[in-house]
Structure 1
Amino acid sequence: MESKVKVVKSEKSWIETAAIDQLEKTAELEGIIKAVGLPDLHVGKTPVGAAYMTKDIIYPHIIGSDIGCGMALFSTGINRGKFKFDKMFGKLFRLGGLENIDISEKIADIDLPFKESLGTIGSGNHFAEFQEVSEVFDEKAFEEIGMEKGSVYLLVHSGSRGYGEYIIQDCIRKHSCQKGLKTDSTAFNEYLEEHQKSVEYARLNRELVAHRLLDTVGGKDDKKLLESVHNSITKKETEGEIIYIHRKGAAPSDVGYIVIAGTRSTKSYIIKPEEGLYDYCYSVSHGAGRRWPRFDCKKRLQHVYEDKILRERKLAGTLICKDKNVVYEEAPEAYKSIEKVVEDMVNEKMIKLVASLNPLITYKV
């Protein structure tokens, strides 16, 4: 009998045993018919870099609090030759925080909770990053997206801020949703309605983050070129039945081209998922995936970067943040190799490469 748990990794890839154990334990829940651990799989409250397929039941706690979290790639209207690093870094550094850009007119008619948090990045792995095109692997696909080699782009990774947290806590309190919500229940309908609002909140949030940053640097365009949501529960009809795809730090394979983010000092990749991918719960990796938890990074790296000048040049040269610990948390050593993650999926025939992007400036305030 074929196992319902699949882990995508090669012999050279590293995935901690605890993450695989978490995945297998979660897969034992009632109604889960398939589970996949992607190459960026790592430990979380529930494993991150994982997707699950269920029938007749959903589990809100699997995707957790940041409902709708995802990545969106925006055009900027800025030519790479005119993107002067020192000038742009200075403008962003002096901004002090996205809340200093007024968006009251843009959200005046928005009827959603937690409006005051709209247009902010949030903590953890969230970021906004100006990027340049490094290499194009598929010219036709690149042009189809509407991209140009000499342009600067903005990648925004953020979610639903406090809204998603409110939804999951309310659902746990009212319905003990960690035990699952049957699809014929009132609780199921209530949760999915709020879930969808939170997804839309997160989409709007990314757009407003882009607006604020591009307003700061004098961007002339903020067209959204690509977007994928990697924390969500999605209804899907396949092989004649209704299933629900739970993605926790996993990008959908059925929405077209997407960005897989690297670390703050390595490439990101635009990829095209192959069609089908039923065996992978219609999902692909969303990023490099953490090797170490955030709280552990400073202890591990402080001795490596003892010299202040070296530390600032190596870790903080292109990163704008308020908390100095973030410099360690975002160090390349704290993440898995994005090249290995991408390579594993190419070898598995899950994706095709379209282009790679280099980071220019990362904003995490």
Structure 2
Amino acid sequence: MGNFPIQTPVRVAEFYSDDAWIEGRAVDQLREVAGWPGMRAVAGFPDLHPGRFGPVGGAFLADRIYPQLIGPDIGCGMALFRLDLPRRKLKLDKAARRLEALETGVDADTGAAALSGTRAVQLDVCGLGTLGGGNHFCEVQVVDKIADAATASGLGLQAGDLCLLVHTGSRGQGAGVFTGISDTWAEGFLPGSDAAEAYVALHDAAQVWARVNRALIAGRAAEALRCEARLICDAPHNHLERRPDGWLHRKGAAAPDRGLAPLAGSRDSLSYLMAVPEGPPEALGSVSHGAGRRYDRAAMHGRIRRVKSELEAMRKTRFGGRVICADRDLLIEEAGSAYKDAGAVLRDLEAFGLAHAVAAFAPLLTFKTSKGGRG
């Protein structure tokens, strides 16, 4: 991951139990990053798994900027919305057809208006309003149970309510920022340097673009379902944060929004809304963002047969929900069995005092792509 001399590694704060499914290679990556020059603190969470440029499911505080610890999908995050649509009025077949509107992005005028007045106005509107590929999704969920009645009531949530969880980021915008500096970031950028200032400006723009993108997708999904969407929280998990004691890098580690953060499960498991207290300083103000991968994408192709019966079975969930994904490769790579148990991740977070459950959500409609394109 790096080609520079390492320093004496800082202590890694591991917020996962011995029972957690953590691949050894991910732990090795975590400890390698702990020895990078200028690294001050490293935290790993129970959704930890190996990544291309560093581990996913970690937070890293350093006195310099390492773009590779953010990666190309700058600003990626999850936003949870409450829908004012009664469960009895959601007809899955009809709703699935209506959500196909998410296959294409917004028009140029709509995109420009959405970015107007923000730091992202300098970026292209191309792709705005779309999810992209990989593990991104837009999911209609039903509140399965309430764990923290007081907090849920304050948010206007009760069992049986419909919500929308949107997981996406800055699409080609962040990727363009990252690849544009790929020859220069190996040893990190020193704060105050031209390279650091240029990256931070583009990073901040891409992060705003990503947040606008999630809001647009939610609005378009709500319009397709003939209802309104009210934001509960929007928690990014791939981004850089300037702090008094250095630069905090999060890669697959959520930054709570208003003390809340979604914890995504898989197509075959519950997701959660978590209340996140201040927590121990070693956690760097971060928590897990999801279940985390158990098997990488290539491995999934060896675990699931590409036969019609198995592929069709993956388009339905054990909750009676539907998965809208015309890309067979993506369907296999994002199968429920590719992911860890989100409930186990939550239990570890609760045991370490990092979060507690507010509500659990069952997936009803998971939209990824309706035409086979990865975006």
Deviations 1:203-238 (A, max 9, x none): 00001111222222212x12221110100110123x
Distance 1:118 1:29, change over 3 A: same
Distance 1:275 1:91 in 2: 40
* 1:347 maps onto 2:351 in alignment: yes
Distance 2:98 2:268 in 1: 20
What is the 5 A alignment of 1:137-216?
Answer: 137-173=147-183, 176-216=184-224
3-state SS, counterpart of residue 58 of structure 1: coil
Aligned residues of 2:276 and 2:354 also touching (Cα < 8 A): yes
Distance 1:343 1:103, change over 3 A: farther
Deviations 1:80-135 (A, max 9, x none): 12112232123335x47233x65733534642323021000011111000011011
Q: Which residue number in structure 1 is paired with residue 91 of structure 2?
A: 84
Distance 1:178 1:147 in 2: 46
* 1:248 maps onto 2:251 in alignment: yes
Q: Which amino acid aligns with 1:172?
A: S
Distance 1:307 1:53, change over 3 A: closer
Which residue of the other structure, out of 105, 111, 121, is the alignment partner of 2:131? 121
Which residue of the other structure, out of 110, 114, 121, is the alignment partner of 1:105? 110
State TM-score, norm by structure 2: 0.88
Distance 1:28 1:3 in 2: 6
Q: Which residue number in structure 2 is paired with residue 230 of structure 1?
A: 237
Distance 1:164 1:323 in 2: 23
3-state SS, counterpart of residue 262 of structure 2: strand
Distance 1:88 1:13 in 2: 37
- Larger CA deviation: 328-337 vs 80-89: 80-89
Distance 1:317 1:136 in 2: 20
Aligned residues of 1:271 and 1:355 also touching (Cα < 8 A): yes
State TM-score, norm by structure 1: 0.90
Aligned residues of 1:98 and 1:212 also touching (Cα < 8 A): no
Q: Which residue number in structure 2 is paired with residue 54 of structure 1?
A: 62
How far has the Cα of 1:334 moved from its partner? 0.5
3-state SS, counterpart of residue 223 of structure 1: strand
What is the 5 A alignment of 1:59-78?
Answer: 59-78=66-85
Q: Which residue number in structure 1 is paired with residue 338 of structure 2?
A: 334
Aligned residues of 2:263 and 2:273 also touching (Cα < 8 A): yes
Distance 1:324 1:142, change over 3 A: same
Distance 1:314 1:215 in 2: 25
Deviations 1:281-330 (A, max 9, x none): 22110000011112321221228996566455459961101201222222
3-state SS, counterpart of residue 182 of structure 2: helix
Unaligned runs of 5+ in 2: 1-7, 370-375
Distance 1:163 1:2 in 2: 33
Q: Which residue number in structure 2 is paired with residue 278 of structure 1?
A: 281
3-state SS, counterpart of residue 228 of structure 1: strand
How far has the Cα of 1:8 moved from its partner? 2.1
Aligned residues of 1:120 and 1:209 also touching (Cα < 8 A): yes
- Larger CA deviation: 269-278 vs 316-325: 316-325
* 1:10 maps onto 2:17 in alignment: yes
Aligned residues of 1:277 and 1:283 also touching (Cα < 8 A): no
Which residue of the other structure, out of 129, 133, 141, is the alignment partner of 1:131? 141
- Larger CA deviation: 136-145 vs 283-292: 136-145
Distance 2:9 2:50 in 1: 25
How far has the Cα of 1:66 moved from its partner? 0.5
3-state SS, counterpart of residue 345 of structure 1: helix
Distance 2:144 2:272 in 1: 10
Distance 1:28 1:207 in 2: 38
Distance 2:274 2:109 in 1: 36
Aligned residues of 2:237 and 2:252 also touching (Cα < 8 A): yes
Distance 1:357 1:311 in 2: 19
How far has the Cα of 1:59 moved from its partner? 0.6
Distance 1:308 1:201 in 2: 34
Aligned residues of 1:135 and 1:357 also touching (Cα < 8 A): yes
Q: Which residue number in structure 2 is paired with residue 29 of structure 1?
A: 36
* 1:300 maps onto 2:310 in alignment: no
* 1:269 maps onto 2:272 in alignment: yes
Number of corresponding residues:
355
Distance 1:351 1:362 in 2: 26
Deviations 1:173-210 (A, max 9, x none): 4xx12211111322212211111111100000001111
Distance 2:312 2:108 in 1: 38
Q: Which runs of 4+ in 1 moved over 6 A?
A: none
How far has the Cα of 1:2 moved from its partner? 10
How far has the Cα of 1:20 moved from its partner? 0.3
Unaligned runs of 5+ in 1: none
